[in-house]
Chains A and B, each alone.
Chain A
Amino acid sequence: MALNFDLTEEQDMMRRMVRQFAEKEILPVCVELDQKEEFSVHLTRRMADLGLFGAIIPEEYGGTDVGYLSYIISVEEIARVDGSQAATLAAGVSLGISPIFYYGNEKQKQEWLPRLCKGEILASFGLTEPNAGSDAGASKTTAVLENGNWVINGSKIFITNSASEISGICTVQAVTGKRSDGKNELSCILVPNGTEGFEARPMHGKMCWRASNTGELYFTDCTVPEENLLGRRGEGFHQMLATLDGGRLSIGAMGLGGAQGSFEAALQYSRDREQFGRPIGSFQVNAFKMADMATQIEMARLLLYKACWLRDNKREFSREAAMAKLVCSEVFRMCANHAVQLHGGYGLMNEYRVEKFYRNQKLLEIGEGTSEVQRIVIARHIGVPGRAL
């Protein structure tokens, strides 16, 4: 009797609440925000009011502590309506809040977590650089310890939540020296927005997640106290990998939610739209598309929830997280594609929601580890020979 697919009462209630919020407060404004490429402080703060940013943080730090699966369900429900707001939440929790919670010392946690859970400020994770993407270990940004301070130089790119008017803190991965094996020693350092020598510029012209905030970061002799080091010196690479494992679950949730939203839009349209005197959903060619979408979504949800379950039960989940991210992103691609196809010409217009799904989908196969990198991670876990690079 161990296998059980029921969600708890709490999770059911939370899903209904987040769905209502997304439909009532995000849906009416998301197309306009997307078109204007505008980040919404208001919606971000509303998500925080509802307790979503603190979902995996204990109450003593201002969180709601409802567990990873519950958090993932909240991201899924928001992504079902709008990828941009889901991205703000997912990056805020998995990349912003998580590393401070998991690796920060008591003082750092007390200082940052309550404000982050309340949505007063957003945290970001400064990893990717212009020349260090999939090869994240090849960071060029450096941090040198001088007179009890870290002096940081370098730049980061595509950093979600890093350059909004409420971005307050960035966890920056930097090279802090050489290891005994000759490789770079990487460490993570907390750098508050507004620190002298730290410039965060919003990036524009995005195809996806246009209403989320993406920044380009420049560090020029940016100086922060030595105590801003997150965890121990030299642990940066490990912290980054573990953070991305969690991040993969939330990207998975965005894929699952987007797939669900695409499917529902397609199903509705297939009932309403008539051609040749009958609803287009009654044509087998379209009915099969719908059946495929529903089946694949079910598959993706099972895998993602299982990965979350492993995490909530303190088991190894890195392999399943990579699998879930891969599957959910690809299922979203298929569903968004079918949904636009079913909408025909209208599907190409931005007044129909499927156009946005179609664009947002692409990011998921690229962000937080491309689909190719997920396959590398999975290959390493299943014992293929060599390092599978």
Chain B
Amino acid sequence: MKVIVCVKQVPDTEAAVKIDPETKTLMREGVESITNPFDEFAIEEGLLTVEKYGGDVHVISMGPPQAQEVLRNAYAVGAENVYLISDRAFAGADTWATAYTLASAIKKIGDFDLIICGKQATDGDTGQVGPGIATQLNIPQLTYVDKVVEIDPDNKKIKVERLLEDGKEVVEASLPALITVVKDINEPRLPSLFGIKKAAKIEIPTWTAEDLPVEKEKLGLEGSPTEVVKVFTPEERGGGEILEGEIPEVVSTLVDKLMDMKFIQ
């Protein structure tokens, strides 16, 4: 089994982040960075998978040079193939361009059986990059996985349990496939000092746009079909009002109120 895990560096979830009004991006200065918490589960699931079925885990992250840190953490827990995807040309990528770039890096690694992503990142919160990668690579995607029921490496099949809004479903797909995982899927291990010591010393291979099979115009801000028009903190919503009483009475009060607010005429 060759498992590829995609991880992202995000601002510490406990820190209060601000948005730059000019560039409409997160202001990262002075904010501690961490591995996206959902990606920790993805790394652990990758490790568990190869412990059970054999093979190796490859971890990739796209981001600025300091994103090395999340790859060192992955290395320290036992994922000993890590790659940083970093180039100024990637800056400002939306979810489409990010998925395109990561899919290109995955093609370069090649010959994979399973891709694991966290269900979403805690900064952008889109949940689109995992499915985007699967689409780019034209492979099945299984999102919100809370349990890998079984993998059959010989017949190239994977069976998982997916979390739905009102229940769970068990689905099967052929490999290679991409799964995105939720937080209860496992209990991420801590690195030991032995792992940390090795991880702190390694040179992390960095792939730039030059190293990837990509079309330049599909990268970064330029290659992003979506544009952030406005970023704002929504006003706090006031408390709602619950009308009680007999139905005809409540309906007539509701109609009056809606007319007062000019929602209906």
Contact = CB atoms under 8 A, between A and B. Distances in A.
A24 B190 CA distance: 10
B190 A21 contact: yes
B76 A13 contact: yes
A8 B200 CA distance: 9
Contact of A66 (B69, B72, B193): B193
A50 B192 contact: yes
B194 interface: yes
B199 interface: yes
B190 A13 contact: no
Contacts of B194: 51, 64
Given A8-B200, A17-B190, A64-B192, 18 more contacts: A9-B72, A10-B196, A13-B72, A13-B73, A13-B196, A14-B193, A17-B76, A17-B192, A17-B196, A20-B190, A49-B192, A51-B192, A51-B194, A52-B193, A55-B193, A64-B193, A65-B197, A66-B193
Interface in A40-79: 49-52, 54-55, 64-66, 70
Contacts, number: 45
A167 B69 CA distance: 39
Nearest to B187: A24
Interface in B71-96: 72-73, 76
A66 B190 contact: no
B191 interface: yes
A50 B201 CA distance: 18
B195 to A, nearest CB: 8
B191 A17 contact: yes
Interface size class of B (residues with CB under 8 A): 10 to 19
Nearest to B73: A13
Contacts of B196: 10, 13-14, 17, 66
Interface string B176-210: 00000000000000111110110111000000000
A8 B197 CA distance: 11
A9 B193 contact: no
A64 B195 CA distance: 10
B119 to A, nearest CB: 21
Nearest to A59: B194
Contact of B197 (A20, A24, A49, A64): A64
B200 A10 contact: yes
Interface in B41-90: 69, 72-73, 76
Interface in A172-187: none
A199 to B, nearest CB: 35
A54 B190 contact: no
Interface size class of A (residues with CB under 8 A): 10 to 19
A288 B138 CA distance: 61
Nearest to B193: A51
20 contacts: A9-B69, A9-B72, A10-B196, A10-B197, A10-B200, A10-B201, A13-B191, A13-B196, A13-B200, A14-B193, A14-B196, A17-B191, A17-B193, A20-B190, A50-B192, A51-B192, A51-B193, A55-B193, A64-B194, A66-B193
Given A9-B200, A10-B200, A54 B193 contact: yes
Interface string A10-29: 10011001001100100000
Contacts of A13: 72-73, 76, 191, 196, 199-200
A380 B91 CA distance: 61
Contacts of B76: 13, 17
Nearest to A49: B192
- A-B pairs with the 3 shortest C-beta distances? A51-B193, A10-B200, A64-B193
Contacts of A20: 190
Contacts of B197: 10, 64-66
A49 B192 CA distance: 7
Contacts of A49: 192
A249 to B, nearest CB: 18
Interface in B100-154: none
A64 B194 CA distance: 6
A75 B196 CA distance: 17
B200 to A, nearest CB: 4
Nearest to B76: A13
Contacts of A52: 193
Contacts of A10: 196-197, 200-201
A113 to B, nearest CB: 15
Interface string B214-243: 000000000000000000000000000000
B204 to A, nearest CB: 11
Contacts of A8: 200
B186 to A, nearest CB: 14
A288 B184 CA distance: 43
A255 B11 CA distance: 31
Contacts of A24: 190
Interface in A203-256: none
Interface string B16-40: 0000000000000000000000000
Nearest to A74: B193
